[in-house]
């Protein structure tokens, strides 16, 4: 070994731990991965005016806006606004055998109870556990007191249609309702994923809570690989079934619904959460003004270049919803990083 | 883009103002950068005793120390009952004049007190080139002696300084008959110095060496001794040339230069330092006491003497109690900066944005390790209670109130126990902000239930870690000193915060989070 090569190897040993974060940083930058700071500063702070936040933070408001704009949403059965109404809960939900109770200002799917049927005075939850009417009332009281709302503000409870989810995802879901998250920037759907509940997420379709995120080709609605707890996965963690190669039906309609949510709220950078109903097709569930970044791992693609492209396009022209969707389907051809 | 330039300008202005005031205070007002600096401060007292005639007027003229190199005068005062005191500037000297119209009794005592601190770097004012005036013409044998000594010195010297030292050396030689004649056998320092001064000037302009010279009176403040009594005045011979300014010669050893810590009392000739009109038996004694004072206090006093507007509006002029409050508050922005760094650069998750700063403030009283133990103890006990209350199906606000009350009871119990066990820091548990603790317990239990236990513990540890880092920065003695003495540094902190706000890059935690993308990518 020559002196030079020894020197180089020694240098490499010393420099490697120092360099590796820098190299990682540069590699991520090159791949166009959007970081938290950049998302907050350049997209959320710039395109999401605070005054529009209540429109998405309050799901009741979002739902009413969507209905007005004739965007398909799960039907609203009842709203409980004050503690006094809780007594009448049973009467209000009497006509429905299955329904969902959720806080209007909840976050991350917290406080949602899905009832699939009745056993006398008891209600059967989607996970099979029976809930007594009193327990249900207590839960509604908790919602009203603000237990699940951001900042603990007093809240409203919504009772709505329980989505009969499309059998497409049955094999790769553990209880709960899988939903589809679409990032919409200035009315252009830029990236999407399917979120599959797992045992760890206790049936919730939230990546933070342990759901699996599956990247979806935005041009045609075909699923590929997934992300679970920031790790790349090919199979559902509970059922073991492969998650790639599924075709989501009604994809173009789903994109159109997502794209039209921009006009609904005026927020430039949002995450649109949709579900696939067996009979009613895609329904818009809620909007998120601070959508997460794990979608990039699920798609193995960075958001930044797509956002930059849209930014440029918006500066040049204003487009209709249809042509926006068409542009996206034509442009964002799926090219995963590996 | 425009906002970016705006921001950079704001940052620039903030840093400029902050640093300008900071440097002004450091360079001009001499405020110390370190909290440990100690300055030596001497309190000099001269006591004048004399006998006056009762009911008659008296006037005392007394030289007092002029502004000089290496010594800063902090304070001076004249203690003299019923006397009017004025001070005059007189060619490099300062003269104080005490006057009274009707001396109340025979024995009179006047005091002059001044405080000086030693500062090697202080240059002092420019001195005039005024030497002793008047020439002294010797006659007869003295004239011959004068000529011999001068011609001897001339032969042995190259410039005015070596000439003067040779004159002094010759005068000091007890075997030299010429010197004995000129000195009249009085070999005291004072006599040698004044004789040398006469010789250096020469009898006439045409003949004499024409070296400007004068006497310097003063005494050496001992570096080692703390108290000096009855200090005798020492005399040095000063000679002047335009190239070097004033240089001093010891009339005894002919050594050049004043000894270190030499406080000059007066420049001049052989006339006495104290003159009393309308009195007799005057006596003058000097004493000095040395003490070590925090450099900060010295600099403050000095700046106040100069009536610096910055010091008039300094935090030090607030009442002590308010100062103590600000001593804590002024560190909060630093803590916030640390949290900002930890959150948007490292990506540590904490409960609430600035909650760790509040915990860090509590740590100041409990100290770090004890603080962490107490915090963990209370939060985990509180969590247990919170989970128990959860089963009772209470509404949010009653439950929060109950947890808050429980937290306070837990704190009382902890204090009582630690008092019994003689565990002093346990008592300081009361300093934790209990409402904050309650909120942490509530937030933590919600995260615990809705995410998972691991996430809750992770965020708890993150909060504690952030608090510990913030505490270490905020309780650093140098930091405390810097921010309290130079609150303008807060402007710089704001500028840094604004600059950090421009960082849109990845957090350290994101490098780990998205690592998987790269690993697969490379393979």
Q: Choose, out of B448, B516, B517, B520, the residue to mutate when testing the contact with A (most A CBs < 10 Å).
A: B517
Residue A226 to chain B, least CA–CA distance (Å): 12
Residue A71 to chain B, least CA–CA distance (Å): 30
CATH topology (fold) of B140-268 = Beta Polymerase; domain 2 (3.30.460)
Res A186: pLDDT = 93
For residues A140-169, average pLDDT: 84
Distances, alpha carbon B229 to alpha carbons A331, B224, B286, B408, in Å: 96, 14, 7, 62
Predicted model pTM: 0.69
Cross-chain Cβ contact B511/A36 below 8 Å: no
Q: What gap in Å lies between CA B511 and CA B523, rounded to an integer?
A: 18
Cross-chain Cβ contact B521/A337 below 8 Å: yes
Over its length of 523 residues, how does chain B's per-residue pLDDT go in tens digits?
578 889 899 999 999 999 999 998 888 777 777 777 777 788 888 999 888 887 888 888 899 998 888 888 878 888 887 888 888 887 788 889 989 888 877 788 889 988 888 877 778 788 888 888 777 778 888 888 888 888 888 888 888 888 888 888 888 888 888 888 888 878 888 888 888 888 888 777 777 788 888 889 998 887 777 778 888 888 998 888 888 888 898 888 888 888 888 889 988 887 788 888 888 888 889 988 888 777 777 777 776 666 667 666 777 777 777 888 888 889 999 999 999 999 889 988 888 777 888 888 888 777 788 888 888 888 888 888 888 887 776 777 787 788 888 888 888 888 888 777 766 666 666 666 777 777 788 778 777 766 677 878 888 899 899 999 999 998 888 888 889 888 999 999 999 999 998 888 899 888 888 887 776 555 4
Phi, psi of A156, rounded to the nearest 5 degrees: -115, 155
| DSSP code string of B143-168 | HHHHHHHHHHHHHH-SSHHHHHHHHH
Answer left, alpha or beta for residue B210, where phi above 0 means left and psi between -120 and 50 means alpha.
Answer: left
Cross-chain Cβ contact B504/A35 below 8 Å: yes
Which residues in chain A have Cβ-Cβ distances shorter than 8 Å to B450? 108, 110, 209
> Is this complex scored with an ipTM above 0.85?
no
Helix axis angle for B368-391 and B434-450, nearest 10°, is: 60
Q: Which of B395, B450, B515 sits opposite A24 (nearest CB)?
A: B515
Range list of H helices, B140-228? 140-156, 160-172, 177-183, 189-201
Q: What gap in Å lies between CA B351 and CA B459, rounded to an integer?
A: 6
Cross-chain Cβ contact A337/B515 below 8 Å: no
- Spatial contact of B134 and B198, defined as CB atoms under 8 Å apart: no
Q: H or E stretch including B365?
A: helix B355-366
Tokens of B55: 């009911």
Interface size A-B, in CB pairs within 8 Å, comes to 84
Res A151: pLDDT = 62
For residues A22-35, average pLDDT: 88
Nearest to B302 by CA among B50, B20, B61, B32: B32
Query: B320 touching A, CB under 8 A?
Result: no
Query: B503 touching A, CB under 8 A?
Result: yes
Which residues in chain B have Cβ-Cβ distances shorter than 8 Å to A25? 505-506, 511
Q: What gap in Å lies between CA B325 and CA A310, rounded to an integer?
A: 52
Q: Which of B397, B504, B517 sits opposite A41 (nearest CB)?
A: B504
Q: What gap in Å lies between CA B493 and CA B510, rounded to an integer?
A: 26
Which residues in chain B have Cβ-Cβ distances shorter than 8 Å to A230? 513, 516
Which residues in chain A have Cβ-Cβ distances shorter than 8 Å to B344? 36-37
Q: What gap in Å lies between CA B433 and CA B26, rounded to an integer?
A: 37
Residue B517 to chain A, least CA–CA distance (Å): 7
For residues A212-235, average pLDDT: 86
Q: Residues of CATH 3.30.460 domain(s) within chain B? A: 140-268
Residue A139 to chain B, least CA–CA distance (Å): 9
Rg (CA), chain A: 22
Tens digit of each residue's pLDDT (9 = 90 or more) over A312-334: 998 888 889 899 999 999 988 87
Contacts of A333 (CB under 8 A, 6+ apart): A219
Which residues in chain B have Cβ-Cβ distances shorter than 8 Å to A33? 506, 514, 517
CATH topology (fold) of A75-160 = Dna Ligase; domain 1 (3.30.1490)
Cross-chain Cβ contact A37/B396 below 8 Å: no
DSSP β-ladder status, B279-294 and B227-228: antiparallel
Rg (CA), chain B: 37
Query: B230 touching A, CB under 8 A?
Result: no
Cross-chain Cβ contact B510/A35 below 8 Å: yes
Residue B452 to chain A, least CA–CA distance (Å): 8
- Three-state SS at B317: helix
Q: Choose, out of B443, B447, B506, the residue to mutate when testing the contact with A (most A CBs < 10 Å).
A: B506
Which residues in chain B have Cβ-Cβ distances shorter than 8 Å to A147? 396, 446
Cross-chain Cβ contact A338/B450 below 8 Å: no
Query: A305 touching B, CB under 8 A?
Result: no
Query: B454 touching A, CB under 8 A?
Result: no
Q: Which residues of B147-173 are buried (b: 16+ CB within 10 A; e: fewer)?
A: ebbbebbeeebeebbebbbbbbbbbbe
CA angle B498, B499, B504 (to 5 degrees): 105
Query: A297 touching B, CB under 8 A?
Result: yes
Tens digit of each residue's pLDDT (9 = 90 or more) over A116-154: 888 888 899 887 888 888 889 989 998 888 877 766 678
For residues A267-296, average pLDDT: 90
Query: B519 touching A, CB under 8 A?
Result: no
Which residues in chain B have Cβ-Cβ distances shorter than 8 Å to A209? 450-452
Residue B344 to chain A, least CA–CA distance (Å): 7
Instruction: Check residues B398 and A60 and name the one with the higher pLDDT.
Output: A60
Distances, alpha carbon A18 to alpha carbons A22, B58, B184, in Å: 7, 83, 84
Residue B495 to chain A, least CA–CA distance (Å): 18
Instruction: Check residues A325 and A9 and name the one with the higher pLDDT.
Output: A325
CATH topology (fold) of A37-56+166-331 = D-amino Acid Aminotransferase; Chain A, domain 1 (3.30.470)
Q: What gap in Å lies between CA A252 and CA A330, rounded to an integer?
A: 12
Query: B520 touching A, CB under 8 A?
Result: yes
Residue B354 to chain A, least CA–CA distance (Å): 15
Which residues in chain B have Cβ-Cβ distances shorter than 8 Å to A296? 514, 517
Range list of H helices, B392-476? 396-420, 434-450, 453-474
- Strands across the sheet containing B58-64: B84-90, B93-100, B58-64, B274-277
Helix axis angle for A59-68 and A251-265, nearest 10°, is: 110
Instruction: Check residues A28 and B395 and name the one with the higher pLDDT.
Output: A28
Cross-chain Cβ contact A337/B517 below 8 Å: yes
Which residues in chain A have Cβ-Cβ distances shorter than 8 Å to B513? 230
Q: Which of B397, B450, B504 sits opposite A37 (nearest CB)?
A: B504
- Spatial contact of B495 and B18, defined as CB atoms under 8 Å apart: yes
A residues 38..77 contacting B (CB < 8 A): 38, 41-42
Res B432: pLDDT = 65
Cross-chain Cβ contact B347/A36 below 8 Å: yes
Cross-chain Cβ contact A209/B451 below 8 Å: yes
- Spatial contact of A158 and A99, defined as CB atoms under 8 Å apart: no
């Amino acid at each position: 070994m020559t002196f030079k090569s020894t020197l180089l190897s020694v240098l490499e040993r010393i420099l490697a731990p120092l360099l590796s974060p820098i190299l990682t940083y540069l590699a991520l930058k090159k791949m166009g991965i959007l970081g938290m700071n950049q998302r907050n500063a350049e997209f959320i702070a710039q395109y999401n005016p605070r005054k529009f936040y209540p429109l998405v933070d309050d799901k009741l408001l979002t739902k009413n806006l969507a209905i007005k704009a004739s965007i398909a949403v799960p039907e609203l059965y009842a709203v409980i606004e004050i503690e006094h109404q809780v007594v009448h809960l049973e009467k209000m939900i009497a006509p429905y055998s299955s329904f969902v109770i959720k806080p209007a200002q909840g976050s991350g799917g917290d406080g949602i109870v899905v009832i699939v049927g009745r056993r006398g005075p008891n209600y059967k939850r989607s996970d099979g556990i029976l809930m007594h009417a009193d327990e249900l009332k207590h839960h509604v009281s908790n919602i009203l007191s603000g237990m699940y709302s951001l900042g603990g503000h007093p809240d409203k409870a919504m009772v709505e249609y329980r989505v009969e989810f499309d059998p497409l995802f049955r094999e790769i879901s553990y209880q709960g309702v899988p939903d589809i998250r679409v990032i919409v920037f200035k009315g252009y759907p830029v990236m999407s994923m399917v979120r599959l509940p797992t045992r760890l997420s206790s049936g919730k379709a939230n990546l933070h809570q342990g759901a699996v995120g599956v990247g979806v080709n935005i041009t045609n609605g075909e699923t590929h690989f997934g992300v679970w707890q920031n790790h790349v996965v090919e199979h559902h963690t509970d059922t073991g079934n492969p998650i790639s190669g599924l075709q989501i039906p009604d994809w173009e309609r789903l994109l159109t619904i997502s794209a039209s949510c921009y006009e609904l709220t005026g927020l430039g950078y949002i995450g649109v959460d949709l579900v696939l109903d067996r009979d009613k097709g895609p329904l818009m569930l809620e909007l998120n003004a601070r959508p997460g970044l794990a979608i990039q791992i699920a798609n193995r693609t960075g958001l930044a270049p797509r956002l930059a492209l849209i930014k440029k396009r918006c500066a040049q022209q204003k487009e209709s919803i249809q042509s926006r969707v068409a542009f996206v389907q034509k442009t964002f051809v799926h090219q995963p990083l590996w | 883009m425009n906002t970016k330039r705006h921001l950079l300008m704001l940052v620039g202005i903030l840093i400029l103002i902050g640093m300008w005031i900071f440097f002004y205070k450091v360079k001009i007002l001499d405020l110390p950068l370190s909290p440990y600096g100690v300055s030596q401060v001497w309190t000099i007292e001269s006591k004048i005793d004399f006998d006056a005639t009762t009911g008659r007027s008296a006037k005392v003229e007394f030289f007092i120390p002029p502004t000089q190199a290496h010594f800063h005068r902090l304070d001076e005062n004249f203690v003299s009952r019923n006397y009017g005191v004025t001070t005059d500037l007189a060619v490099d000297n300062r003269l104080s004049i005490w006057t009274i119209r009707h001396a109340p009794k025979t024995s009179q005592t006047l005091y002059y007190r001044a405080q000086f601190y030693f500062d090697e770097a202080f240059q002092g004012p420019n001195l005039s080139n005024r030497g002793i005036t008047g020439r002294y013409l010797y006659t007869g044998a003295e004239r011959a002696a004068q000529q011999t000594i001068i011609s001897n010195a001339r032969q042995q010297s190259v410039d005015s300084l070596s000439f003067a030292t040779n004159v002094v050396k010759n005068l000091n030689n007890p075997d030299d008959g010429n010197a004995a004649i000129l000195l009249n056998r009085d070999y005291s320092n004072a006599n040698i110095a004044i004789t040398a001064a006469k010789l250096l000037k020469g009898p006439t302009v045409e003949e004499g060496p024409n070296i400007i010279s004068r006497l310097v009176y003063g005494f050496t403040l001992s570096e080692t001794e703390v108290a000096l009594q009855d200090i005798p005045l020492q005399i040095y011979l000063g000679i002047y040339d335009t190239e070097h300014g004033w240089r001093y010669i010891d009339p005894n050893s002919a050594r050049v230069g004043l000894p270190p810590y030499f406080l000059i009392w007066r420049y001049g000739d052989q006339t006495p330092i104290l003159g009393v009109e309308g009195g007799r038996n005057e006596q003058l004694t000097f004493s000095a006491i040395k003490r070590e004072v925090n450099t900060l206090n010295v600099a403050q006093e000095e700046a106040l003497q100069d009536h610096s507007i910055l010091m008039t509006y300094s935090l030090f002029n607030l009442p002590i109690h308010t100062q103590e409050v600000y001593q804590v508050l002024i560190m909060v922005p630093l803590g916030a900066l640390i949290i900002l760094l930890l959150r948007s650069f490292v990506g540590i998750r904490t409960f609430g944005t600035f909650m760790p700063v509040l915990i860090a403030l509590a740590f100041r009283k409990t100290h770090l390790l004890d603080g962490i133990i107490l915090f963990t103890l209370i939060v985990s006990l509180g969590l247990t209670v919170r989970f128990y209350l959860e089963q009772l199906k209470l509404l949010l606000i009653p439950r929060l109130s109950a947890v808050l009350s429980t937290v306070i009871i837990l704190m009382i119990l902890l204090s009582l126990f630690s008092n019994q066990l003689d565990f002093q820091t346990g008592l300081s548990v009361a300093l934790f902000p209990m409402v904050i603790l309650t909120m942490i317990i509530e937030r933590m239990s919600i995260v615990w239930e809705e995410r998972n236990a691991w996430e809750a513990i992770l965020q708890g540890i993150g909060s504690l870690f952030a608090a510990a880092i913030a505490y270490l920065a905020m309780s650093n003695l140098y930091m405390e000193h810097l921010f309290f003495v130079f609150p303008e540094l807060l402007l710089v902190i704001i500028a840094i915060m604004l600059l950090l706000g421009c960082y849109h890059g990845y957090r350290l935690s994101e490098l780990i989070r998205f690592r998987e993308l790269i690993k697969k990518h490379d393979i």
